[in-house]
Amino acid sequence: MHVAIPLYDGFTALDAVGPYTTLAYAPGVKVTFVAPERGPVDDDRGTLTITATATYAELPDPDVVLVPGGFGTIAALSDQALVRWIAAAGGQARWTTSVCSGSLLLGAAGLLQGRKATSHWAVLDQLAEYGAEAVSERVVVDGTVVTAAGVSAGIDMGLTLLARASDVETAEAVQLLMEYDPEPPFNAGSLKTAPEGTLERAMALFG
């Protein structure tokens, strides 16, 4: 199974690296980072780069398309080369997936029409603009489209996808290998549980 992760300036590193790590550990899975040209692409902090080892043209038909989100997503919506590649590759892929605001790029590519999907809470309502039914859940599976909520949910999405594309036993083995047994130090990871004032402080970080 060949997984392609498109990179663009301002993607969130964990959106890409979380599911990459989950899937890359599995037997029979190859993961390739793609971009318009081969070379380094900066994340949304501008301090970490991931190297794209293939161009869009070199990988037009992966088995899985996995689109990360990030602070650069809004600008990326105007990147016609990226959106066209997602539309073409995702339209024929066995699985089409996203993490965080990457689902907006799936929407812009016309792949969410009439489907249930999720995204980061800050942009969840924007999914309706692309004909999707926004669902506030960690991972949403609708046919061959799998979307994840914000950032860390990409690991959950990777395990969910692995269980469906391979089997539950493989996904469980990868989860144990990663020692993915989250016990967050604070109960502030959801709009439903975050203490008063946390939302305002989180929104300030967008600046």
Q: Which residues are tagged catalytic?
A: 100
How far CA 116 is from CA of 124, 133, 141, 161, 172, in Å, comes to 11, 5, 8, 16, 26
Beta-bridged to residue 116, according to DSSP, are 133
Question: Which residue shows structure tokens 């790029």?
Answer: 105
Beta strands at 39-42 and 49-52: parallel, antiparallel or unpaired: antiparallel
Question: Which residue shows structure tokens 């995204």?
Answer: 119
Q: Which two tokens stand for residue 187?
A: 């109960």
Judged by DSSP in three states, 169 sits in helix
Q: Residue 148 gets which letter from DSSP?
A: E
Chain CA centroid to CA 160, Å: 13
Q: Which two tokens stand for residue 147?
A: 């979307």
Long-range contacts of 42-45 (CB under 8 A, 24+ apart): 42/9, 42/10, 43/10, 43/11, 43/12, 43/13, 43/70, 44/10, 44/11, 44/12, 44/13, 44/70, 44/71, 44/72, 45/13
